[in-house]
Copies of this chain bind each other. A is one copy, B any other.
């Protein structure tokens, strides 16, 4: 009686997700180049050949991970902007998003740093990051413009201000990635004071 193995096959999507999760952990720990396909395979409990069955190359695995980060971020943003509400509520929600994202998934800043560095040599990744940046800035600009129209903000250059605000968040994110960890509450409070009232004496 021949033993016939019951299917230990997972669906392609499940396998792909399993590989992506394993690869993400490896890239975070060692960076892109120091991560070997064997590392990814071992972490995914497959052979290297098995990984190559699902992905054509190491680079495509990394791109898929950047794409996933992109999708998560844009989905959240649309949710924030679609909901009506006043400026303060939306900015607080956006701020919460970033603070929570850093806190809940401490790996995100690190991954974004690795992705940004990869973008210097990988045009598809660069395009994704530029698109994501533009998406954030457009949403933020829209929020600011609506607030100006409603008289909740003074007349400012909405788009340039949006870029400045997004840059602030990116800078904080980069600091966290390298391990510079400012007190979160103080930073959030100071940032909202800065945004709200500026530095000028009352």
Partner of A133, one of B130, B163, B175, B194: B175
**Copies of this chain:** 2
- Is B116 within 8 A of A177, CB to CB? yes
Provide the main secondary structure of the chain A interface.
Answer: helix
For A167, list chain B residues within 8 Å (CB). 167-172, 174-175
Q: Does A199 contact B (CB under 8 A)?
A: yes
For A170, give its contact among B30, B156, B171, B187 (CB under 8 Å): B171
* Chain A interface bracket (under 10, 10 to 19, 20 to 34, 35 or more): 35 or more
Q: Which of B33, B119, B200 contacts A178 (CB 8 A)?
A: B119
Q: Which residues of A contact B (CB under 8 A)?
A: 30-34, 110, 113-114, 116-117, 119-121, 126, 129-130, 133-134, 144, 151-154, 156-157, 159-161, 163-175, 177-180, 182-183, 186-187, 189-191, 193-202
8 extra interchain contacts, Cβ-Cβ under 8 A, other than A130-B178, A153-B199, A167-B169?
A33-B34, A154-B201, A160-B187, A161-B194, A167-B170, A168-B168, A194-B198, A197-B198
